Amino acid sequence: MEGRCIWCNKVGDNLRQATVGTRHPLLGGPARTDLVVHEEHADAFERFSERVGRSGRLFLAAVGVCLLAMVGLEIALVAGARTVGTVGIGMAVVALGIVLSALPFSTPQTVALLGARTAARLARLAGALLIGLGLFVVLLVL
């Protein structure tokens, strides 16, 4: 079978249909049935996609909470609670970074563009950067 491997994003001819469950909001959803994967990457992708299936909702909820917290804290900041607002936003950014590092999921578009492996690496890198940025923001007020 020919195509582009969903895991490493390389074109090849020793690909096979990837076995993906039906509930993968972060891998393209049930409509996406054209996933193919290298024989040698099938296990890695399957583990990753199982993890997305198990933790996908948790991930989306955690990201949502972090973003909501940031919005709330920005309002506090505008309202004059400078220290609380700034430290809080820093902590929320750190929390978001921890979520991204622990569950390195990205969008289906990113997976389609770069492959799941690279997308996960980028998400981890972004998580690490967010943790650093958040700590920096907290340190600014201390």
Please give the residue ranges that form the binding site for Zn ion (CB under 5 A): 5, 7-8, 38, 41
Query: Which one, of 18, 100, 62, lies nearest residue 70 by Cα?
Result: 62
Q: Can you read off the two tokens belonging to residue 112? A: 């389609």
Closest CB to Zn ion among residues 24, 38: 38
> What's the closest the beta carbon of residue 9 comes to Zn ion, in angstroms?
7
Biggest distance spanned by C-alpha atoms of the chain: 61
> What's the closest the beta carbon of residue 36 comes to Zn ion, in angstroms?
9
Closest CB to Zn ion among residues 8, 35: 8
Closest CB to Zn ion among residues 10, 23: 10
Q: 9-18 long-range CB contacts below 8 Å, 24 or more apart?
A: 9/113, 9/114, 9/115, 9/117, 9/118, 10/38, 10/115, 12/38, 14/38, 14/39, 15/39, 16/42, 18/42, 18/45, 18/46, 18/49
Closest CB to Zn ion among residues 24, 117: 117
> What's the closest the beta carbon of residue 110 comes to Zn ion, in angstroms?
16
